Amino acid sequence: MASITTNTPPPPAAPAPALRRKSTGRAGDKVFLGLSRGSGILLLVLMASIAIFLSVRAGMAISKDEGNFLTTFDWDPAAQKPVFGIAVLLFGTVVSSIIAMVIAVPIAVGIALFISHYAPRKLAAPLAYVVDLLAAVPSIIYGIWGALVLVPYLEGLNSWLDEYLGWTYVFEKTEVGVARSLFTVGILLAIMILPIVTSVSREVFLQVPRMNEEAALALGATRWEVIRMSVLPFGRSGIISASMLGLGRALGETMAVATVLSPSYLISLHLLNPGGGTFAQNIAAKFDEANQLGRDALIASGLVLFVLTLLVNGAARLIIARRKEYSGANA
């Protein structure tokens, strides 16, 4: 019988006949182990079949693609000569996620520090609670809020950025139109991933051993110096993995992008111009009108997204696993 504890005492010797009796416990154990192991295996099978099924359909689509799946700037699988490519989607997905990370991670670390080290104690617990609740707000609600509230509010900021930072090229706005741009999407994604990045970072900051902080305090460190010497070095890998988790969410976000972005099949580094697209947004936008090949083409783009998030999440998990060993060694 498998046992998870290393020091489980053996069951006390029952009277001899009972030991020999074929107990129902044995059969029950087998059934139970079978069931629980079965669901574990089912989960693996599920993951494998996701990869396989998506790949099969994606393969079918790509073989009929008259353009280049990686470099074509168009999405028209219903045409006489079907052409579709993920170049624009990959660009838009990566750029909007990077903008989201650049904005969200520092702010999330700030909030996490605020909750763990700065906020008055009475405020800290409810704050942490509120942050966790906000992580549960459905993305479609962020989406309509972004489209109907945030977009108009960002007009001023956009023209400001264009005016003063236009020389950077990135912030130059060459097209008129509302702020339904990759930049706005990035800001909205940043707001959406703030709660998750914050709550993971806060967990890590709270795990910093008291004695590490006291070591810095006893040397006469100010609060900021304590954080710089003890909290941030200890929490660094935690912050990284929290950011990766946030990145994973930003990459795959569908509804918030679909509501805010006005899509186009162009790649432009003028981030304030409306246009662009992401994998998930493109699937949502094109699904209704897609024919058989169109659906397979969307599945192919979904496969790329799947691999992308798989890599990011896998990396995050590896970093967390390494941190566990590391902190265990110093406990």
Partner 1 sequence: MAKRIDVSGLTAYYSSHKAIEDISMTVEPRSVTAFIGPSGCGKSTFLRTLNRMHEVTPGGRVEGKVLLDDENLYGKDVDPVAVRRTVGMVFQRPNPFPTMSIFDNVAAGLRLNGSYKKNQLADVVEKSLKGANLWNEVKDRLNKPGSGLSGGQQQRLCIARAIAVEPDVLLMDEPCSALDPISTLAIEDLIGELKERFTIVIVTHNMQQAARVSDRTAFFNLAAVGQPGRLIEIDETERIFSNPSVQATEDYISGRFG
Partner 2 sequence: MSNAVVQDTRPPASAPRKGSLSRRGLPRWAGAAFGAAGIALGCGIGLVFGLDSKVQWGLISAILFVLISYVATSVVENKRQAKDRVATSLVWVCFILALVPLVSLLWTTIKRGSKALSGDFLSHSMNGVTGFEPGGGVYHALIGTLEQVGIATVISAPLGLLTAVYLVEYGKGALAKAVTFFVDVMTGIPSIVAGLFILTLMLMFELKPSGFMGSLALSILMMPVVVRSTEEMLKLVPNELREASLALGVPKWRTILKVVLPTAIGGITTGVMLAIARIAGETAPIMLLVFGSQLINTNPFDGAQSSLPFYIWEQYRVGSDASYDRGWAAALVLIAFVMILNLVARGIARWKAPKTGR
Q: Which residues bind partner 1 (CB under 8 A)?
A: 121, 209, 211-212, 214-222, 225, 229-230, 233-234, 236, 329-330
Residue 330 interacts, among partner 1, partner 2, none and using kind-specific CB cut-offs from 5 to 8 Å, with partner 1
For residue 317, CA distances in Å to 125, 134, 207, 310 come to: 27, 23, 18, 10
Residue 47 interacts, among partner 1, partner 2, none and using kind-specific CB cut-offs from 5 to 8 Å, with partner 2
Binding mask 22-61 for partner 2 (x = CB under 8 A): -xxxx-xx-xxx-xxxxxxxxxx-xx-xx--xx-xx----
CB of 240 to partner 1, least distance (A): 14
Give the bridge partners for 181, in sequence order.
Answer: 274
CB of 219 to partner 1, least distance (A): 4
Find the binder of partner 2 among 174, 207, 222, 291 (CB under 8 A).
222
CB of 117 to partner 1, least distance (A): 12
CB of 322 to partner 2, least distance (A): 14
Q: How many CB atoms lie within 10 A of CB 289?
A: 8
Cβ atoms of 198 and 131 closer than 8 Å: yes
Residue 268 or 296 having the CB closest to partner 2 = 296
Cα separation, 244 vs 240, in Å, equals: 6
Residue 16 or 218 having the CB closest to partner 1 = 218
Find the binder of partner 2 among 67, 82, 143, 263 (CB under 8 A).
143
Cα separation, 271 vs 182, in Å, equals: 6
Residue 54 or 216 having the CB closest to partner 1 = 216
Cα separation, 49 vs 43, in Å, equals: 10
Rule CB under 8 A: is residue 206 a binding residue for partner 2? no
Find the binder of partner 2 among 177, 209, 233, 287 (CB under 8 A).
287
For residue 142, CA distances in Å to 14, 145, 165, 197, 256 come to: 63, 5, 28, 17, 6
Give the bridge partners for 274, in sequence order.
Answer: 181
Cβ atoms of 260 and 281 closer than 8 Å: no
CB of 11 to partner 2, least distance (A): 5
Residue 208 or 268 having the CB closest to partner 2 = 208
Residue 299 interacts, among partner 2, partner 1, none and using kind-specific CB cut-offs from 5 to 8 Å, with partner 2
Residue 79 interacts, among partner 2, partner 1, none and using kind-specific CB cut-offs from 5 to 8 Å, with none
Residue 64 or 228 having the CB closest to partner 1 = 228
Cα separation, 11 vs 41, in Å, equals: 30
Host H or E run for residue 319: helix 292-329
Find the binder of partner 2 among 66, 74, 175, 225 (CB under 8 A).
225
Sign of torsion over alpha carbons 267, 98, 303, 142? negative
Which residues lie below 8 Å from residue 238, measured CB to CB, with a gap of 6+? 200, 201, 203, 204, 205, 207, 320, 323
